[in-house]
Structure 1
Amino acid sequence: MHMPFRTMILSLAGALALCASAPGWSQGNDLLARVKSNKEITIATEARYAPFEYVENGKIVGYDADLMQYVLKSLPDVKVKQLDLPFQGLLPGLDAKRFDIVVTAVTVNKDRASHFAFTVPVADATTGVLLRANETSIKSPDDLNGKVVGSQTGSAQLQALMSLDKKLKDAGGPGIKQIRQYVAFDEAYADLAVGRLDAVAQSVANLGPLMKARPGVFVVMPQTIGPKSYFAWVARKDADSAALAKLFSDGIARANRDGTMKKLQQKWFGTTMDVPADAVPEPTM
């Protein structure tokens, strides 16, 4: 049976309209659009990294938590489902789409930046060395030859420590006697305090508040190790996540420019840091 001419024209017009609208529908159905439609966002955090984030009275608090609340003003009707996970599971979980974005202090490095989309920086992540307050034999990175040093598994600080070990050996020294890896930095601090470690490699941003919280227990070696680096938040590096990553990055940049970031840094770190607001610096490590 032949289709009447008028019906055929209407059918063709409808099909063309559907085709024309398809690309727009695709772009409007990305992760950010689904978050707004579902009125919920799932965020992953490692809440054992004070003062960036930690649990107090059953609630996740800290610098990143406050900054996240500022950024989420752009999504006023969206409920936050926040997961507290070990650091080692954050990026694999993001890759597997178990959550929408990682809001925790993740150091930007070459390997991560090649696979994930980072926001603009939230803080300085340059690696420092924590010592016991009564330590007299360690005054510079060279003095870590023959010492037992700890850091967190999977962290950029561990990477900086391993690079230092290679540098010490290349210079003719014995290198670090042993590098011990920990699930969380709190375990490394405990071992350092009782003498099971000689030092801990950790970001300088974390060390000031730690020493303030535990006066007389620790000191920081004057020199840092490794290159200048930054902490940022992490999204998937795909078209689906691009708009959500931009929303978070723009919110962080806005906080940087309007003074909110400096106020939060003063609140949580007792000092302020200069971090770029326009882009993520190219990592050198």
Structure 2
Amino acid sequence: MQKSFLVKAVVGAAMLLAATAGAYAQDALDRVKQAGTLKVGTETAFAPFDFIDAGEHAGLNVDLYDEIGKELGVKIEWVLLPWEGVLPGLEAGKFDIVGGPATVTKQRMERYRFTPPVAEATVALLKRAGDESVQKPEDVAGKVVGGGKASAQLEQLKAFVDKLPGKADVREYPGNNEAYADLAAGRIVAVGNSLPNIAFVAKQRPETFEVVQPPFGTKAYFAYPGLKDDDHKSLMDAIEAAMLKIKGDGRLAKIQEKWFGATFDTPDLVTEPAL
């Protein structure tokens, strides 16, 4: 009888635990709707996607997530932190989705679910304006270059210079702004980053920076990573639907034009990334 009671108690506890888990797993979309807020994590050193302008968080991501928030009927709450802490922050539950675009790669797709792309992410080099020693990407052989720590762009830069006859010295920086500062000061000859990013920087400071053509990286795209577990499926489904609507009615193109001065022809989803 005591054994029977123990069995019933264990079964009861298991059912209670399952019910509790089921309640929690009522999914992320329900929790976001109930809170009225979508928490979005990003960095602020990746213009024109995210940056600080006159003390305010600005950029393409801010404008686009405002539209996503309207579609979902919620407010956007930004959680700002260094890029190397963004993906770990997502996995730790500090926010619901990443708002700093990440390059879609095969390795990342195994771990995260990506939204529809927001822009092209092909990697190119930024050099000092008037530096005749760097006419094409291969000219950085034997020189010192840099890039943002923990970024897919940095990994592509490393892979590219490793194949050059005179390998370049690659310096890692906490963020792209620090890399650009060293480039302007002449401590390095080039910075590797996405073409949209460096094109924006060169446009803002043409007397200081210049884009090296052509881009050296593999054709790639930027999208927002989220968690791919069952709990987050409905939320990611809703964000995907919202973004495809925003793309379909022309709002995405207007936002791209505002921040890049051009639009990007991107697929609705990246299913087989080249990287």
TM-score, normalization: structure 2?
Answer: 0.88
Tell me if 1:174 matches 2:166.
yes
3-state SS, counterpart of residue 255 of structure 1: helix
Distance of 2:156 and 2:57 partners within structure 1: 28
The CA deviation at 1:71 is 1.1
Which amino acid in 2 is paired with 1:55?
I
Q: Does 1:40 align with 2:37?
A: yes
Aligned AA (1:284): A
Matched, 1:31 2:19: no
* Cα deviation code 1:160-210 (max 9, x no counterpart): 111102222xxxx1211x100111111111111110001000110012221
Q: Which residue of 2 aligns with 1:53?
A: 50
CA offset at residue 28 of structure 1?
7.5
CA distance in 2, matches of 1:222, 1:125: 15
Give the corresponding residue for 2:270: 280
Query: Does structure 1 conserve the Cα–Cα contact (< 8 Å) formed by 2:61 and 2:100?
Result: yes
Deviation of 1:126 (Å): 0.4
- The answer (yes or no) to whether the contact 1:163–1:226 under 8 Å persists in 2 is no
- Specify the SS of the correspondent of 1:197: coil
Please list every run of 5 or more consecutive structure 2 residues that lacks an aligned counterpart in the other structure. Answer: 1-18
**Aligned CA-pair RMSD:** 1.9
Instruction: After superposing the two structures, state which structure 1 stretch, 32-41 or 65-74, moved more.
Output: 32-41
1:115-143 Cα distance to aligned partner (Å, 9 max, x none): 11111101111001001112112122221
Counterpart-to-counterpart distance in 1, 2:76 and 2:67: 13
TM-score (norm 1): 0.85
The range that moved more, 186-195 or 25-34, is: 25-34
1:70 counterpart residue number: 67
Give SS of 2:264's match: coil
Alignment equivalent of 1:132, drawn from 122, 125, 128: 128
**From 144, 156, 161, the counterpart of 2:140:** 144
CA distance in 1, matches of 2:157, 2:102: 16
Number of residue pairs matched?
A: 257
Offset, 1:253: 1.6
Larger Rg: 1
Match of 2:225 among 214, 225, 234: 234
Q: Tell me which residue corresponds to 1:225.
A: 216
Match of 2:111 in 1: 115
Partner amino acid, structure 2, of 1:143: D
1:191 to 182, 185, 189: 182
**Alpha-carbon distance in structure 1 between the residues aligned to 2:241 and 2:254:** 18
In structure 2, the residue matched to 1:248 is: 239
Does the Cα contact within 8 Å between 1:42 and 1:99 map onto a contact in 2? yes
What is the rounded CA distance, in whole Å, between the counterparts of 1:196 and 1:35 in structure 2?
46
Identity of aligned residues (%): 40
Give, as a single letter, the amino acid of the residue that structure 2 aligns with 1:114. E
Q: Name 1:269's counterpart in structure 2.
A: 260
